[in-house]
Amino acid sequence: MLRFGTDGVRGVAYTEVTTEYVAALGRAAAQVLGGGNWLVGRDPRESSFDLAGSLASGLVDGGADVTLTDVLPTPAVAYWAARHDRPAAMVTASHNPYHDNGVKIFGPGGVKLSDEVERSIEAALAASVKPDEGWYSYEHATELVDDYIDHLTAMFEPGALGGLRVVLDCANGSMSEIAERPFLALGAMVSVIHAAPDGRNINDACGATSPGSLCAAVIEQEAHLGLAFDGDGDRVIAVDEHGDVVDGDRLIALAALQLRDEGRLYNDTVVVTVMSNLGFRRAMQAAGIKVIETAVGDRYVLEALDAGGFSVGGEQSGHIIYRDLATTGDGLLAGLRLAASLVQRATSLAELAEAVMNTFPQVLVNVRVAVRHPGIASELADEIALAELALGGEGRVLVRASGTEPLIRVMVEAATEELARRTAASLATVVLDRFG
């Protein structure tokens, strides 16, 4: 049985994430979270239609009243759940290739599930019998999308993006027919690339995980800004006017400083995961902003935001959560706020990104292992301590198990890239020899 990872359930479509499995998952989710009206959205990968239908059937069998829609971005599904205070689900494998798929479940109010609730669903799933065929309604997402776009544009003054040239990379995913609308409504000049999903090209050499073609397009079109979303639209990575990538760490740092200047950064605090660069932490310290650190996964960031009532947080990968404005990472919202800040400040993204922080060279090595080792950091505590000692206080080592795959991720930050690579390679060899 698949288990919940850092962001829902995910695996190979039809072999791991089967129609039977997601139907049973839907039945278990309805039993734990309650019936009533559920929304089920999906991304455009070729397996999503079948899996969304099966999930909806299982939810109905568990006592829910389900509305199944066509393609939606994850933030729009979360927005619906927040607006109606109902649970919802999204069939997507996010930034993964087309042959994977999965399910993200939101509790009533559009929030990600806690570990306790996920364990309850897994227990109900283990005891579940095969669901009956459930009957659900199907609706085109037009009205829901319109509400979501109106919700976003209402946050800004009319013409807030006037004069800005923007290129949007939609990853051939859920943002393909949506992303340009609020930018156009707010006065930007917009060009869109990778917005023709065919079921198999989602995240294929495009989007937030592969922004190379966006970098080239920004330069070619002499744009002020490029924004790359992932397959389900809850991540965003930026590209400046020179074609250089601006990652999530810098975007979160800019967001925190912008909110502080607006007097809206509660308790002068920002929330990030253990993967955020050491340079981010030092930049926030210099700015007088406290950093709270969580485990990897945007749901852990969200839990910390809610626990402290904080305003903003996110992940280096591009999940950015404006907690006062949304219940989950929203690439479109984060991109709009970034774009508006450029116009308001009459400056360039390159200038802002360069000034906000100095990035320590960071090397990440993924080591495939036979089975997951959630306690890997404890098992390699001595080796990690020696590696950090060798960095002389000018670096950081993080060894952790992937939340979704049988991988051990070895991350090293150091004063030089060569030192980071050497240290990461040495630790990766230890992992491979012991656990590979």
* CA-to-CA dists, residue 90 to 6, 44, 157, 395, angstroms: 15, 11, 31, 38
The C-alpha angle with vertex 186 and arms to 184 and 191, in degrees rounded to 5, equals: 30
Tell me the Cα Rg of the chain.
21
Q: CA dihedral in degrees (290, 293, 298, 302; nearest 10)?
A: -60
d(CA 267, CA 163): 35
d(CA 211, CA 214): 5
Range 200-231 burial, b when 16+ CB lie within 10 A, else e: ebbbeebbbbbbebbbebbbeeebbbbbbbbb
Strands (E), 7-159: 9-12, 36-42, 64-71, 88-91, 100-107, 111-112, 137-139
Tokens describing residue 419: 């030192």
94 in active site = yes
d(CA 147, CA 132): 33
Strand-pair category, 189-193 with 165-169 = parallel
- The residue assigned the tokens 């050491």 is 278
**Of 54, 94, 128, 311, which one is the catalytic site residue?**
94
273 within 8 A of 316, measured Cβ to Cβ: yes
Active site residues: 94
